[in-house]
Amino acid sequence: MKGPIAVYPGSFDPLTNVHLDIIARATRLFPKIIVAVTDNAAKDPTFSIDQRIRMLKATTAKYKSVRVESFSGLLVHYLKKKKAGVLIRGLRAVSDFEYEFQMALMNRRLDKTAETVFLMPDESYTYLSSRMVKEVYCLGGSVKGLVPDIAAKYMQEKFRPKHRER
């Protein structure tokens, strides 16, 4: 299959099943996908860039068309460097749309060739976010079915003293 290289950027802190759902959907649309993990220290990530990359590589290894990398700086500069023409963004709910729409327009302003494709995850994941997963876990809730096993393992290691299974 020929077509544009697509980039799915994000912090993936931690990786959730909604991220994996978007990646799976993107593999059906694009011949090559780069999952680009942002190295933005201003976001104060819970997991290191290496941990997030390991989570993604372990869970996307079954897709020959997916490569996982880190990036920093402007996303449109990264797209140019990778000769990618499409950005993939997930929309879980209407509340995501305004922010994502503004980002897509800003990226287009910075680079007229940057196109954004919005993908909706399975409806069972529309409420799911990395922030919510961390909060539920830290308050003693189960994240089974919300994150892949490797992410649950990293969360257990990171939050062990705070977390008590109920």
The residues annotated with a catalytic role in the active site are: 19, 43, 92, 130
Please tell me the distance from the alpha carbon of residue 23 to that of residue 92, in angstroms, as a whole number: 14
Give yes or no for a cis peptide into 14 (omega within 30° of 0): yes
| Residue type at 50 in one-letter notation | D
- Kindly give the pairing relationship between strand 32-38 and strand 66-71: parallel
CA atoms within 13 A on the CB side of 123: 0
Token digits of residue 162? 């705070």
CA distances to 16, 81, 105, 161 from 23, rounded to whole Å, are 11, 21, 22, 32
Please tell me the distance from the alpha carbon of residue 127 to that of residue 55, in angstroms, as a whole number: 21
